[in-house]
Amino acid sequence: MLFLKKNNIWIIFLLPMFFYACGYKFTGGGSFPAGIRSVCVSTLENRTSETGAENIFTNDLIYEITRDNKAVLTAKDKADALLSGVIKSMSIETISRKSAHSSLSLERRVTVTVDLKLTDPDGRVIWSAKGVSAKEAYDVMPDKLATEQNRRNAISALSKRLAERLYARITDDF
């Protein structure tokens, strides 16, 4: 039994060295580009028909930036950079039906596409990402209110996932 515990200790020490030696790293483990220490996040422009989507997506981006403490959120006039963007599109499509000949949806998918850019105080683009999209499926219920709630939950889930992915791309030391 003591022998097994000693081997487990070696595994705990050797496993991280293995990942380090093979070049593995967690995404988003870097810092903001160009030595940015403070960021102002402007509300994303919403070019979709989804009311309030700009607030959902902007708040999730702000959360990702503030939870990692790699940059301070500040006012535009004090910031090293401005993060701005556009929610370009949001589409909903049926992905499963009750039967092949039925128009009754069982499941739908919402897809969102976003453009983001990080600019310095002079307006020069430091970093940008165009056409970044995420998808999330949701169930269609017999009750329209329940379906609407499922759709909103799907939008919220994909917003969080998209914010995580975009933040990882911004802070990826490329």
Mean pLDDT of 131-154: 97
As a whole-number percent, the residues of the chain with pLDDT over 70 amount to 82
Rounded Cα–Cα distance for residues 59 and 87 (Å): 13
Mean pLDDT of 84-91: 98
What confidence score (pLDDT) does residue 54 get? 97
The better pLDDT of the pair 21, 90 is held by 90
With 0-12 / 13-18 / 19 or more C-beta atoms within 10 angstroms meaning exposed / middle / buried, residue 111 is middle
Q: What are phi and psi of 83, to 5 degrees?
A: -100, 120
Mean pLDDT of 39-59: 97
What confidence score (pLDDT) does residue 98 get? 85
pTM given for the model: 0.79
What confidence score (pLDDT) does residue 21 get? 46
User: With 60 as the cut, is the pLDDT of residue 63 above it?
Assistant: yes
Closest alpha carbon to 72 in 60, 62, 86: 62
User: With 50 as the cut, is the pLDDT of residue 25 above it?
Assistant: no
Mean pLDDT of 133-138: 97
Could you tell me the two tokens for 116? 């983001």
Q: Answer yes or no: are the C-beta atoms of 91 and 136 closer than 8 Å.
A: no
Rounded Cα–Cα distance for residues 36 and 72 (Å): 9
Q: Where are the domains of the chain?
A: 32-171
Q: Yes or no: is domain 32-171 CATH 3.40.50.20?
A: no
Q: Which of 22-31, 65-74, 145-154, 165-174 has the lowest mean pLDDT?
A: 22-31
User: With 50 as the cut, is the pLDDT of residue 144 above it?
Assistant: yes
The better pLDDT of the pair 71, 145 is held by 145
Closest alpha carbon to 47 in 83, 85, 86: 86
